[in-house]
A = this chain, B = another copy of it.
């Protein structure tokens, strides 16, 4: 099998080199970046199976980098390395969408197990077409990468990240049920009263945009979710 590609971002050159070698010995294809900036550049230039990010780095810390990576890619697993054990930091990491968290010093074998567990998990997931980023919705055209929505020959409207993801999620389920829960867990990464209300606010915003085409409607299915209907 093709070696799994790992992006390792670690500012301590010694530790970075050792960890890289260790992973290479264990049959991974490792790219090492010395800081967050470089890490993001390398992330954009290739496709990785896993990112291992140091939290404490000059210029751009691990969280910021993780957030940038998540904007580009919701799927790739992220593991944080940190010397900190502060609760807030761990929580922050999970909020950003981390898959795991490791305190330094850690045992390399444990890291290896975690890596294997995570990569295997991802491999077993059947992924939907997440690469699609252009959608025709009635007379609208949505580009979810550039985050704009155009209507015929009018000036395209810019969408906020949340607006855009929500509309994309609806579009992926065109004319079918898009469960509330799905959007909440995938986009808001949490499912409670407030995130749910927040989502309703975004539904209202989207409806406002979409009403220029009377054949497009976002219907509610009480207690279940929403349905983007496009009449032909």
Contacts and interface: CB of A to CB of B under 8 A. Distances in A.
A94 to B, nearest CB: 4
Given A123-B181, A128-B126, A146 B221 contact: yes
A19 B177 CA distance: 35
The 7 A-B pairs at the shortest CB distance, nearest first, are namely A94-B113, A123-B185, A125-B125, A120-B185, A126-B128, A1-B181, A87-B107
Contacts of A90: 107, 110, 113
A221 B186 contact: no
A27 B27 CA distance: 42
A197 to B, nearest CB: 13
A222 B148 CA distance: 12
A123 B1 contact: no
A180 B1 contact: yes
A51 to B, nearest CB: 15
Contacts of A120: 185-186, 189
A124 B125 contact: yes
Interface of A: 1, 27, 87, 90-91, 94-95, 97-100, 107, 109-110, 113-114, 116-117, 119-121, 123-128, 145-147, 160-161, 176-177, 180-182, 184-186, 189-192, 221-224, 227
Copies in the complex: 2
Contact of A147 (B1, B87, B221): B221
B190 A123 contact: no
B224 A123 contact: no
Given A1-B180, A124-B186, A186-B124, A161 B222 contact: yes
A160 B109 CA distance: 30
A103 to B, nearest CB: 10
